[in-house]
């Protein structure tokens, strides 16, 4: 199975990003965490993205706030799927979301919601599950668990009401 790279523009993003790592751990997906800034360490970021596939990565989660160029910079130099995770750093994170989502033609970045690290982790797992039946089975069980939890919550609510 391929690994997931979890790249942050700053270590200050960790409190949000760790939720993606928790998902990867839950599904038994190998990962590496990196801090690389599109603006302050562009060579590091570019070198990582250029060599990520040969290092065994299958997906890159890139978290960034404010100008949020990191996901697009990584996507520009790799053929791996890049999941952009906008971080709420200013103006409610809308700037980050738009910077990541509005990529030019030819440089796609999958984008999750602002601070939606759990969904970034789940999307990475879903991408890897395309070639891993065991992982696909774990995802199916996860989805079934979510459905059961909703049914249980509904039942508790109905018991309170009636």
Model confidence over 84-104: pLDDT tens digits?
Answer: 999 999 899 999 999 999 999
Distance CA 135, CA 23 (A): 12
More confident residue, 161 or 22: 22
Whole-angstrom Cα distance, residue 121 to residue 24?
A: 6
Based on the fold, state whether residues 103 and 73 are members of the same structural domain: yes
Q: Which residue positions form the known binding site?
A: 10, 13, 40
**Is the domain of 82 the same as that of 155?**
no
Tokens coding 113: 């919601």
| DSSP code, position 147 | H
Same domain, 31 and 50: yes
Domain identity same for 46 and 79: yes
Separation between Cα atoms, residue 128 and residue 10, nearest integer Å: 26
> Which domain CATH number covers 76?
3.40.50.1970
Binding-site annotation: residue ranges for substrate = 10, 13, 40
Q: What is the pTM of this model?
A: 0.94
- Whether 140 and 104 share a structural domain: no
- For residues 129-139, average pLDDT: 97
Q: Residue 150: is its pLDDT beyond 90? A: yes
Find the domain containing 145 and state its range: 133-162
Residue 83: C-alpha distances to residues 154, 156, 162 (Å): 33, 36, 45
How many domains in the chain? 2
| pLDDT interval class at 67 (50, 70, 90) | confident
């Amino acid at each position: 199975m391929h690994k997931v790279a979890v790249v942050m523009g700053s270590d200050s993003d960790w409190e949000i990003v760790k939720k993606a790592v928790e998902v990867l751990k839950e599904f038994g997906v190998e990962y590496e965490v990196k801090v690389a800034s599109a603006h302050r360490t562009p060579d590091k970021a570019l070198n990582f993205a250029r060599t990520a596939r040969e290092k065994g990565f299958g997906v890159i989660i890139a978290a960034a706030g404010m100008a949020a160029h990191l996901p697009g910079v990584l996507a520009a130099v790799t053929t791996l799927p890049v999941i952009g995770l906008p971080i709420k750093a200013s103006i409610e994170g809308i700037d980050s979301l738009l910077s990541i989502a509005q990529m030019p033609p030819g440089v796609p970045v999958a984008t999750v919601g602002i601070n939606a690290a759990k969904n970034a982790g789940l999307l990475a797992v879903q991408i890897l599950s395309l070639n891993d039946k065991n992982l696909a089975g774990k995802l199916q069980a996860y989805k079934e668990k979510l459905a059961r939890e909703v049914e249980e919550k509904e039942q508790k609510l109905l018991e309170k009401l009636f």
